[in-house]
A and B are shown apart, each in its own frame.
Chain A
């Protein structure tokens, strides 16, 4: 099934074009607003956890704090370090900021997906989706875009011509490249079950809680995805790239003014996007929470708008979780982060993916399910033992090499 937006299938006329333009604008504005509120929400929530008050001067409950900060940063002097590579230095913030918004384009922001509905709505006589784009490659687009964001951070650190940002950018490239693998592999489990790459297709396949696939994707792939996404976002406890206490500011040490603000915005925008992606992949996106036939329906609200409400509610849970991480967890060390990624997350997601694939193949071909499960578990155990042996060998090698002074 090609999940193209029905709006774009036929010949393009003025009305669909205008609808698309309005959608672009709305997604951009919603993205900016969400970022603004996320910054405020994080500062307020962390302040609460740390016995502080947090922003409370600008607007009601300090809700306009981000706006005030943004305006202030706009009027700050835009500094170029003398040793910076000027072109790359100027480009890097945009490389980080634009992908953050692009990834938001494929998230279904609403619509009625209940009972196998396709989530399409009719606007001005045109059938469309409440999402900017629904390309057939869907989730892969999000992955590709989030990989581009690595360049923003890496180039920012490299082009600053300074040592701390350089260390930050080295960390960034290693961290984000290695966690991308775990991210993609855990995502593959979801795609395997949904049978489609399109985000709206994945959401449509998750009508009730039982269809969220708690056992096959809800525990192992979800946790791996969550950890990998946190690392991909450079959020604590994986914020080694900025690591204030070690690298001063990491990759953005030399940045000032609006260029710094762009990095800041991109980080929070990415957090929102990643939470939305998690919700879309694992928790039914705009679907209401439904157990069997019972649906938590909000009366008086059209189902399509209700979808938006549910999406926001679910995203908020994850945003709060990210804030909670930041407030409580100490930062991992560079090598520990790599260990976690390569020695635990990637093998675990790979193993789980193989297990799921074997199960699926067995169902399709009508093989003995117990036998297949037993065989795959045996294979996994052997792989695990081999891996442990390899770890032990490398640890031995390291200890014989001796230390440097």
Chain B
């Protein structure tokens, strides 16, 4: 008889988990788990003492609980999020998010791409707000290069314009998916319809609807096309009426309020303890927005309000996003007024490829162009960390450079990834339908979670 045959099933879990003692990845039935696991799952956030947790574990073994797998193939898990829920009837007792189904190793890939190519990589992480990803990558690279103060004004304001429009499009996508998850299926099409109008503008400017690679180290890839101002103005004129329709369809709808108010509540301390950012943190009443608290670009020159909630529930998160669309529109209007003339990228020959016209005339320009696009530009040794406010929260990029043309290590602090850990906490004690509302209100983008 070997030693392994004597141990219980819960111990097997701890041993088989490759070299760690973190237990199985799968959620187990309450009657099979130790107090330690319960503590890890719920007690730690709730600041329970070990004796309180021990009282919880195994006590309800006569209860009929059931483990249900929500995802990775499920209509409302926003991609390939997998949630394991322990249910008592329809009540969610515990929840364990399992991630990694979309893991493509983007951070590792980033180490073999030059700083010039890095944009195409990071833009695919949070595919609902790609321009913010590019922005944070570009800002970090510029900080490493030491050119972050020399970016032409026009480039900075273009970045702001795109970043805010991207916030609008991302929040419109949230409106769509949130509506659909709660059952207002028409809302999905309305949300996508409005988002499409923003994407159409992106296509005019960047050539692509998503994954633009438009904001690059040193500036932006191209100047704004002719007639961009009218396009934006048309957009800004069309949106308020549509948002008013959303208010009628959702905010004023009694069923809608019933479904979201008081659902997925999180307190300020818990949100901070779980490092939640963005609308989740703001819904608890803490007014924390990097655009105002640690201004980047020229956010200190525009006027806008940081929207905060008061109850920390799903309804607050919905209304925060709805009103952030309005605030972003306010910012975009100011950007339109303030947009300066000038270069759209830095005239630093080290980072900026020569313009197309010069390539035909000058052999040196051709060589220079070729070298920048094949070898890339070298970035001084060092490390930099820049955080900005993406629609989902604080997105940050950390790059360590060894002086070569590719990052030695690139890490992205993805707001969705961090925010997902608030889910088990917000779902506890709710119903399955509330779990769906919670997933929706956290608004995770799985591309960013798994990177």
Interface residues of A, Cβ cutoff 8 Å to B: 46, 49-52, 163-164, 167, 170-171, 236-237, 239-240, 243-248, 326-336, 403-405
Q: How far is the CA of A78 from the CA of B258 in the complex (A)?
A: 40
> Given A243-B433, A246-B436, A334–B185 Cβ distance below 8 Å?
no
List which B41-96 residues lie within 8 A (CB) of chain A: 42, 46, 56, 60, 66, 68-69, 74-76, 88-91, 93-94
The 10 A-B pairs of least Cβ separation, nearest first, read: A331-B183, A245-B76, A50-B189, A330-B184, A330-B182, A330-B183, A333-B433, A403-B429, A327-B186, A330-B255
Q: How far is the CA of A289 from the CA of B232 in the complex (A)?
A: 53
Q: How far is the CB of B382 from chain A (nearest CB, A)?
A: 47
Q: How far is the CA of A167 from the CA of B179 in the complex (A)?
A: 23
List which B156-195 residues lie within 8 A (CB) of chain A: 179-186, 189-190, 193
Q: Please determine whether A333 and B431 come into contact, CB atoms closer than 8 angstroms.
A: yes
Q: Please determine whether A332 and B259 come into contact, CB atoms closer than 8 angstroms.
A: yes
Most central of A49, A236, A334 by chain B CB within 10 Å: A334
Q: How far is the CA of A116 from the CA of B264 in the complex (A)?
A: 59
Q: How far is the CB of B49 from chain A (nearest CB, A)?
A: 14
Q: How far is the CA of A248 from the CA of B77 in the complex (A)?
A: 11
> Given A51-B193, A248-B74, A330-B184, A336–B258 Cβ distance below 8 Å?
yes
Q: How far is the CA of A107 from the CA of B186 in the complex (A)?
A: 33
Q: Please determine whether A328 and B56 come into contact, CB atoms closer than 8 angstroms.
A: no
Residues of B within 8 A of A240 (CB): 433
- A243, A246, A247, A404: the one within 8 Å of B91 (CB): A404
- Chain B positions 250 through 262: 1 when the CB is less than 8 Å from some CB of chain A, otherwise 0: 1001011011000
Residues of A within 8 A of B69 (CB): 163
Q: Please determine whether B75 and A245 come into contact, CB atoms closer than 8 angstroms.
A: yes
Q: Whose C-beta in chain B lies nearest to the C-beta of A236?
A: B183
Residues of B within 8 A of A246 (CB): 76, 432-433, 435-436
Q: Please determine whether A334 and B431 come into contact, CB atoms closer than 8 angstroms.
A: yes
Q: How far is the CA of A240 from the CA of B186 in the complex (A)?
A: 17
B428 at the interface (CB under 8 A from A): yes
Q: Please determine whether B186 and A330 come into contact, CB atoms closer than 8 angstroms.
A: no
**Chain B interface helix/strand/loop/mixed:** helix
Interface residues of B, Cβ cutoff 8 Å to A: 38, 42, 46, 56, 60, 66, 68-69, 74-76, 88-91, 93-94, 179-186, 189-190, 193, 249-250, 253, 255-256, 258-259, 428-429, 431-436
Q: How far is the CA of A167 from the CA of B436 in the complex (A)?
A: 15
Q: How far is the CA of A124 from the CA of B438 in the complex (A)?
A: 65
Q: How far is the CB of B108 from chain A (nearest CB, A)?
A: 34
Q: How far is the CA of A330 from the CA of B258 in the complex (A)?
A: 10
> Given A329-B253, A330-B255, A336-B258, A167–B180 Cβ distance below 8 Å?
no
Q: Whose C-beta in chain A lies nearest to the C-beta of B68?
A: A163
Q: How far is the CB of B333 from chain A (nearest CB, A)?
A: 27
Residues of A within 8 A of B181 (CB): 245
Q: How far is the CA of A354 from the CA of B179 in the complex (A)?
A: 41
Q: Please determine whether B249 and A333 come into contact, CB atoms closer than 8 angstroms.
A: no
Q: How far is the CA of A299 from the CA of B184 in the complex (A)?
A: 44
Q: How far is the CB of B264 from chain A (nearest CB, A)?
A: 13
Q: How far is the CB of B31 from chain A (nearest CB, A)?
A: 14
Residues of A within 8 A of B76 (CB): 245-246
> Given A330-B253, A330-B259, A333-B258, A248–B90 Cβ distance below 8 Å?
no
- A51, A167, A239, A403: the one within 8 Å of B90 (CB): A167
Q: How far is the CA of A248 from the CA of B75 in the complex (A)?
A: 6
Residues of B within 8 A of A336 (CB): 255, 258-259
Q: Please determine whether B255 and A237 come into contact, CB atoms closer than 8 angstroms.
A: yes
> Given A246-B432, A328-B249, A333-B434, A404–B93 Cβ distance below 8 Å?
yes
Q: Whose C-beta in chain B lies nearest to the C-beta of A405?
A: B42
Residues of A within 8 A of B256 (CB): 330
Q: How far is the CB of B249 from chain A (nearest CB, A)?
A: 7
> Given A245-B180, A329-B253, A405-B428, A334–B433 Cβ distance below 8 Å?
yes
